[in-house]
């Protein structure tokens, strides 16, 4: 007996096509090899989650640092708008880090927390970009470096392969 290279069900050695899913079988695949490939594909999304979560945590720490700088600038310029926005960044970033850590612990709730906090962050950053619209270059810099990565990460996290490894 061996396992189908596609659906991993047990099949007899003499068939060329899997009776369960119809996939063509290569004679080269031993049971061990099939198991190893299966293991590899199983582990892949977990690796993606770890990489995404580490990048998310680094990005959020950077955002908190940036927000602290904004607080300083805001208090010097006596600008309440900047200070409120900086407060929102800190709040959203702490929630994002907590969500990423929960996802590392394979908790689905971590993805929800992360998503809510990132949407708050994206809205705040978008407003910041709109506020800087008069200085066109700064607005596009905010979009390219602070809003777009956030949106991309949200999409990556919601990919089914990543999501199915959270419970
Ligand atoms: Zn099969």
* Residue 119 pLDDT exceeds 90: yes
- State the distance from the centre of ligand 1 to the C-alpha of 38, rounded, in angstroms: 13
Cα 163 to ligand 1 centroid, rounded to whole Å: 25
The pLDDT tens digits of the residues spanning 135-155 come to 667 778 888 888 999 999 999
pLDDT band at 160 (very low <50, low <70, confident <90, very high): confident
**pTM value?**
0.71
Averaged pLDDT, 15-39: 76
Taking the centre of ligand 1 as the mean of its atom positions, its distance from the CA of residue 31, in whole angstroms, is 13
pLDDT band at residue 59 under the 50/70/90 scheme: very high
Mean pLDDT of 31-49: 72
Q: What percent of the chain has pLDDT over 70?
A: 89
DSSP letter, residue 11: E
Query: What average pLDDT does this structure show over 42-53?
Result: 81
CA of 12 to the centre of ligand 1 (A): 11
Q: pLDDT class for 43, splitting at 50, 70, 90?
A: low
Of the CA atoms within 13 Å of residue 37, those in its CB half-sphere come to: 11
Structural domain boundaries in the chain: 43-163
Interval 71-80: pLDDT, tens: 898 888 888 8
| Cα 164 to averaged position of ligand 1 atoms, centre (Å) | 22
Per the prediction, the chain carries an average pLDDT of: 86
- Ligand 1 centroid to residue 43 C-alpha, Å: 20
How far is 162 from 118, CA to CA, in rounded Å? 17
C-beta separation of 45 from 161 below 8 A: yes
CA of 19 to the centre of ligand 1 (A): 7
d(CA 156, CA 61): 20
């Amino acid at each position: 007996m061996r396992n189908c290279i596609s659906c991993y069900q047990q099949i007899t050695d003499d068939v060329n096509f899997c009776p369960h899913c119809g996939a063509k079988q290569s004679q080269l695949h031993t049971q061990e090899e099939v198991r190893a490939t299966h293991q590899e594909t199983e582990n892949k999304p977990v690796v993606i989650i770890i990489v995404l979560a580490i990048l998310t945590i680094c990005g959020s720490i950077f955002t908190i640092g940036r927000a602290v700088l904004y607080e300083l600038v805001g208090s010097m310029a006596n600008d309440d708008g900047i200070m409120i926005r900086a407060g929102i960044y800190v709040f959203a970033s702490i929630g994002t880090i907590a969500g990423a850590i929960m996802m590392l612990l394979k908790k689905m709730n971590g993805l929800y927390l992360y998503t809510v906090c990132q949407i708050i962050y994206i809205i705040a950053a978008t407003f910041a970009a709109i506020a800087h619209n008069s200085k066109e270059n700064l607005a596009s810099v905010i979009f390219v470096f602070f809003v777009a990565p956030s949106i991309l990460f949200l999409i990556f996290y919601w990919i089914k392969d990543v999501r199915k490894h959270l419970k």
